[in-house]
């Protein structure tokens, strides 16, 4: 379909050059810079977004997109964790990175008693709970099945501005019954507000299979460009 592009994760991407988050027993670092204290989040006993991590990762995403126009954003991050960091803090960081546009995490756990010994973790083991699970390919297939509707929203904007282009980035929640709720903007750049609102309305009509284990939060970007 001309003029409609979507960013997708490349799980085969070389991790060299991917940004790094380091979680020690006391602090959280993003690319070597301290952004949060572990103690502030470790005692709350609930999943939460760590805003300083979110802001730092979102800034990295925006820098990548600005310096690589037209290239698919890979959304890959390396997360290095000391073995005795509370697991809920690790989940908080993983969830926060995903919200900021980095859903593809490679985890490495460090044993401080054997600093040269590392173990990789499967990111699936750290999916936040009570959040649910729904295969990404299922989510993508259903959204792509409604591309004509989203394209129609964009074309109404093109009728007013033949050079209209930009992204619509939608954050939404797939409820336990598969219906969509909490549709919000997560950094859209398409300047036509009516077109953006039209796309959002289309998302609210989507119905997905029932997620396994609870609700699922999704961030989905679509890039709109005039047909060549």
Please give the sequence-ordered ranges of beta strands (E in DSSP) within the chain, or none if there are none.
4-6, 20-23, 27-30, 33-37, 76-82, 104-110, 118-121, 166-174, 180-185, 216-224
Instruction: Out of 14-23, 24-33, 167-176, 186-195, pick the least confident.
Output: 14-23
Q: Which residues pair with 34 in a beta bridge?
A: 29
CB–CB of 126/107 below 8 Å?
Answer: yes
Token pair in block for residue 151: 């394209």
pLDDT at position 64 over 70? yes
Nearest by Cα to 91 from 138, 53, 35 = 53
pLDDT at position 206 over 50? yes
Domain boundaries, the chain: 4-126, 136-224
- What pLDDT, in 10s, does the model give residues 73-87? 778 888 888 878 888
Nearest by Cα to 4 from 147, 140, 138, 145 = 147
pTM: 0.47
Cβ neighbours, 10 Å, residue 185? 12
Question: Using CA atoms, how far apart are residues 120 and 79, in angstroms rounded to an integer?
Answer: 10
For residue 209, the 8-state DSSP code is: P
Phi, psi of 77 (to 5 degrees): -140, 145
For residue 123, the 8-state DSSP code is: G
Token pair in block for residue 134: 């729904």
Token pair in block for residue 17: 């050059």
The CA–CA distances, whole Å, from 195 to 164, 172, 187, 218 equal 10, 17, 15, 20
Q: What is the pLDDT of residue 112?
A: 55
Chain position carrying tokens 């993983």: 94
Q: What is the pLDDT of residue 87?
A: 84
CATH architecture of 136-224: 2-Layer Sandwich (3.30)
Q: What is the mean pLDDT of residues 10-37?
A: 76
Res. 196 pLDDT band, cuts 50 70 90 = very high
DSSP 50-103: -HHHHHHHHHHHHHHHHHSTTSPP--EEEEEEETTS-HHHHHHHHHHHHHTT--
- What pLDDT, in 10s, does the model give residues 3-21? 444 333 333 334 446 788 9
pLDDT at position 127 over 60? no
């Amino acid at each position: 379909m001309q003029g409609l592009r979507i960013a997708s994760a490349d799980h085969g991407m070389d991790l060299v050059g991917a940004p790094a988050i380091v979680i020690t027993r006391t602090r959280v670092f993003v690319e070597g810079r301290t952004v949060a204290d572990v103690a502030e989040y470790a005692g709350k006993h609930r999943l939460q977004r760590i805003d300083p991590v979110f802001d730092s990762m979102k800034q990295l995403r925006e820098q990548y997109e600005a310096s690589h126009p037209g290239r698919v954003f890979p959304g890959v991050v390396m997360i290095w964790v000391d073995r005795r960091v509370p697991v809920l803090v690790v989940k908080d960081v993983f969830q926060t990175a995903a919200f900021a546009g980095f859903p593809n995490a490679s985890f490495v756990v460090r044993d401080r008693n054997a600093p040269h010994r590392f173990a990789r973790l499967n990111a699936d083991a750290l999916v936040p709970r009570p959040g649910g699970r729904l295969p990404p390919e299922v989510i993508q297939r259903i959204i792509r099945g409604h591309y004509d509707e989203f394209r129609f929203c964009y074309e109404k904007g093109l009728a007013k501005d033949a050079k209209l282009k930009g992204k619509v980035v939608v954050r939404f929640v797939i409820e336990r019954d598969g219906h969509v709720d909490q549709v919000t903007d997560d950094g859209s750049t398409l300047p036509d507000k009516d077109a953006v609102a039209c796309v959002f309305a289309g998302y609210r009509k989507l119905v997905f299979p029932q997620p396994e284990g609870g609700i699922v939060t999704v961030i989905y970007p679509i890039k709109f460009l005039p047909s060549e």
